[in-house]
């Protein structure tokens, strides 16, 4: 815990603001995911951005989401983080593409979600997953 606190203290004001925004949105996204159908969420979180953003800005947003995700207690972090990233990007009018993929591993179907804005992956992409849905 001391490491997280010292990391937080070392952030500048803008990064702290993004961290708190990401933390709120991550928990809201999880809440929405529990109580809504996925179809409704794809409409709510549809891409609305029209502009590109500098890679540096996207990296700062990605770091904020990763830091906030470290405080989540559930397992499906990639989907929640993808929805959170889409929400943050839409608020900033930044173009993005979200993906859902699946793969068969040891007889089990695994799922993964990721999001890309420009050339920057805000949630880690795994090339072994076959894309089944894009929004």
pLDDT for 84 equals 97
Q: What is the distance between the alpha carbons of residues 2 and 15, in angstroms, rounded to a whole number? A: 19
Task: Provide the whole-model pTM.
Answer: 0.90
Tens of pLDDT along 75-100? Answer: 878 999 999 999 999 999 999 999 99
pLDDT for 11 equals 87
pLDDT for 37 equals 92
Mean pLDDT to the nearest integer, 35-54: 93
pLDDT for 108 equals 94
Percent of the chain with pLDDT over 70: 99
The string of DSSP letters for the chain reads: -HHHHHHHHHS-HHHHHHHHHHHHHHHHHHHHHHHS-HHHHHHHT-----B---HHHHHHHHHHHHHHHTT--SS-HHHHHHHHHHHHHHHTTB--EEEEEEEEETTEEEEEEEEEETTEEEE---TTSEEEEE-
């Amino acid at each position: 815990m001391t490491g997280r606190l010292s990391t937080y203290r070392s952030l500048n004001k803008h990064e702290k603001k993004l961290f708190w925004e990401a933390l709120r949105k991550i928990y809201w996204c999880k809440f929405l995911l529990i109580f809504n159908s996925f179809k409704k969420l794809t409409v709510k979180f549809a891409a609305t951005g029209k502009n590109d953003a500098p890679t540096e800005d996207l990296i700062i947003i990605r770091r904020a989401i990763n830091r906030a995700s470290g405080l989540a207690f559930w397992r499906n972090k990639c989907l929640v983080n993808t929805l959170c990233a889409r929400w943050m990007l839409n608020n900033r009018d930044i173009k993005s593409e979200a993906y859902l993929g699946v793969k068969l591993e040891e007889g089990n179907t695994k799922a993964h979600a990721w999001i890309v804005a420009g050339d920057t992956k805000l949630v880690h992409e795994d090339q072994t997953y076959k894309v089944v849905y894009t929004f």
